[in-house]
Chains A and B, each alone.
Chain A
Amino acid sequence: MANELQKVFTRSPLLGTDTHSLCPGCGEPTAIRVLMENVEEMEERENAICVLGIGCYTAFASLMEVDCQQAMHGRAPAQATGVKRVLPDRLVFTLQGDGDMVTEGIQEIIHAAARGEKITAICLNNATFGETGGHMTATSVVGQKSKSTLDGRDPDVHGHPIRLPEMLRDLDGVAYVARGTVHTPVGAKKTKKLLRAALETQRRGLGFSLVEILTMCPTGWFVPTADGPRFQEENILPVFGVGELKRPAEL
C-alpha cells in the first residue's frame, strides 16, 4: 500500500470535458469549478437548475452537467424566481457577472433579495466587461483603466463602484451574503465554503443568498496573464473586502 499513489484531486463529474473559450488567467473557471464541486458533494445534481446571465461565463452553460436556462442580460434573478416559485424543492442558482447583475440588472437582484426569494445568486465580479473587451462596469474601481475610461475611472465623471453585497445585507429577505476571491488556492478553497453556506441557506429555506466572487480578468484589465492575481491584490481587494457579511443563526 505504501508505494501506491493516492488520488487526491479529480475533476468534478459535473464539469464537462469540452474545451471552452475563456482567456488564460481568467478566474471564472475556478469559481465555476468550486461551485460544481459543491453541487456534487451536496448530491444535488438531479435537483439543480442554473440560470445564467450574459457574459463570458455563459459559455459554461454547455459544460455544467446540470439543467441550465440562459437569461437575458441582467434578468437572471427574475427568471430564477419563476423557476423556484413553480419548483420550490429544486436548488436554483444564478450565475451572473458584475456587468450583468450590478450594471444592467440591479433592479432584478434588489427585488429578488427584498422578496426573500429562496434562490442563490452568484456574481462573478471581475470589475470589467470582459466579454466586450474591457469596458467599465458598475464595479470598476476608481482609477481603473478601461476602453471607456481611458485615463482611469474618475468618480467626478464615471461615479463610484457599487458594493452590492453590502447594499443588500440590510434587506430583511436576505439570509446569507458573502464575498470570496479565487486569485489564490486558499481563496478558492474559502470561496467554496462560502458557496456551500449559501446553497445550504437555500436548501434549508432560510431566505435569499448571494455570493460575490472576485475573478481575475487580465485581458480586461490590460495586464499580462501572470499579473492577474497581483492586480487583484493591489487594486480590487482594497475596495471589495472578502468574507461573510451576513449569516443566518440557523446555519
Chain B
Amino acid sequence: MTNPTRAFLEGGHALAEAAIQAGCRFYCGYPMTPSTEVLEYMARRMPEVGGVCVNVEAELEGINMVWGATGAGVRSMIASTTNGMALMQESLSEMVVGRIPAVIVNMGRGQGDYFMCTRGGGHGSNRCIVLAPWTAQEAVGTAYRAFYLAEKWRHPVMIFGDFILSHTSETVTFGAPADATGPLPEKDWATDGARGRAPRLLTSLGMKIPEAPDGTPLPDGQTRTDVTAPMRMAVRRHEAIAAEEVRVESEGLDDAELVVTAFGVPARFARYAAKLAREDGMKIGFVRPYTLVPFPEGRFREVAARGVPIAVFENNAGQMVQDVRLAVEGRTPVHFIGGISMDSSGFGVGPEIDALHILQRLREVYAARSAA
C-alpha cells in the first residue's frame, strides 16, 4: 500500500503508521494487550517499506535489538505494555547514558507506570524524554516528534499511552508537526562499519576525555578514560531538555478557583468534567502535561503563586500527584482525586474513567477549597 495521508484507525495502528512515515525501519515487539496491535500493524507494513519487524522472544531481547539497530544508524522502535516495560528497564537506563536515540512505546494498563516511565525505571539517575498523547491524532504527531527529539538530543524517547488510546478508532491525518521538522545533527556516532573513516565505539561505559580529574588539560593530546563523564553529560542533557522541550496545554486558568490536571486519555474526561463544572458555575481550570519528562513544573508554579488549589486525576494510586506537589512546594493544596480504575481484565478501563465521576470529585474539592 502507499503511504496513507488520512485514515480512520485505532490509536495503536495510527501511531505505527506514523512511525513508518517518520522513517522507522526496525521494529520489534512481544505481543501483550494493549500494545499487540502495534506489532500486528508493523508485521504487515514493515516489509512493504523495506523495513524489519521481529516478533521477539522477550521484551528484554527486544529493547536490546532496538539498541543495536539504532546504534547502526537506523530509526527503530519497540512497543510494549506495563510488565513488558518493566523487563526493559536496565537497558533503558543505560541507553540514556549511552545516548541511544530509540523510540519506546508503552501502551500501559491504566496509568500505574507513571513512576516507571518518568523515573527512568532502572538504575542510575537517568530519564527518557516522556510524551503522553491523549488522542489518536496526537499519537500520530507524537511518533514523528519522538524520533525528532530522540535524534535532536541523542536521547531515548518514550511514548506513554493506554488501552483507550491504543484501541479507540479516530480519523487521523499524517505528516510531521511543525516542531518535529528541520535539520538534525549528523549521526557521527553510528556504528555501521568504518568505511573510509576511523572506527567508532558506541558505549555507555565511559569515554576518553582530554582532562585530569581536577579539570586540567592533559599534555600532548593525551586522553584518559572517565567512567563518570557519560553520567555527568546525561545530567546536563536532562537540564537542557527541561529548558527547551516542556509542552503543556491549559484552559481557563485566568479566573480559576480550582485547577484540575490529568495526562493522556483520562485528561479528555477531566477536561470535559471541568467544562461541565463551568456550566454549573464552578470556576475550574484545566492543565494537561504532554511532556511528563520534562515535567511542566512552571505551569503549576504559576497556579500555586495565585493560591489556587490543584486536583490531580490519574488512573493509578497517585503518582503524577507527587510531581505536582514537588512543583508547587507546599504553596497551594494539592488533592488527589484519581485512583486505580480497572475492568475485569485489568486493562485500565474502569468505571472511574468517567466525566460525571470526576465532576463529583471536583464538586467535593471545590466546596472545601475555602476551608483549606
Contact = CB atoms under 8 A, between A and B. Distances in A.
Contact of A69 (B28, B57, B71): B71
B68 A78 contact: yes
Given A46-B196, A48-B193, A67-B192, A83 B69 contact: yes
B205 A70 contact: yes
A108 B60 CA distance: 9
A69 B205 CA distance: 11
Nearest to B72: A83
Which of A48, A68, A90, A107 is most buried by chain B, counting CB atoms within 10 A of its CB? Answer: A68
Nearest to B26: A86
Contacts of A62: 201, 208, 225
Contacts of A107: 57-58, 60-61
Contacts of B196: 46
B67 interface: yes
Interface residues on A, range: 20 to 34
Interface string B179-221: 0000000000001111110011111110010000000000000
B201 A78 contact: no
B68 A81 contact: yes
B26 A85 contact: yes
B76 A82 contact: yes
Interface residues of B, number: 42
Contacts of B66: 82
A197 interface: no
Interface in A68-83: 68-72, 75, 78-83
Contacts of B56: 78
A61 interface: yes
A52 to B, nearest CB: 8
B43 to A, nearest CB: 14
Interface stretch (B14-22, B90-98, B300-308): B90-98
B165 interface: no
Nearest to B71: A69
A79 to B, nearest CB: 4
A34 B54 CA distance: 33
B19 to A, nearest CB: 15
A79 B193 contact: no
B74 interface: yes
B72 A66 contact: no
A51 B191 CA distance: 10
Contacts of A48: 193-194
Interface string B253-296: 00000000000000000000000000000000000000000000
B54 A72 contact: no
Contact of B54 (A61, A65, A67, A81): A81
A75 B64 contact: yes
B68 A82 contact: yes
B86 interface: no
A45 interface: yes
B55 to A, nearest CB: 10
Nearest to B95: A72
A58 interface: yes
A83 B68 contact: yes
Contacts of B26: 82, 85-86
A79 B199 contact: no
A86 B72 contact: yes
A47 interface: yes
B49 to A, nearest CB: 13
Nearest to A73: B90
B65 A72 contact: no
A101 to B, nearest CB: 14
A181 B21 CA distance: 49
A64 B64 contact: no
Interface of B: 25-26, 28, 52, 54, 56-58, 60-62, 64-74, 76, 90-91, 94, 98, 191-196, 199-205, 208, 225
10 contacts: A49-B72, A51-B68, A70-B98, A71-B67, A78-B60, A78-B64, A78-B68, A82-B72, A83-B68, A86-B76
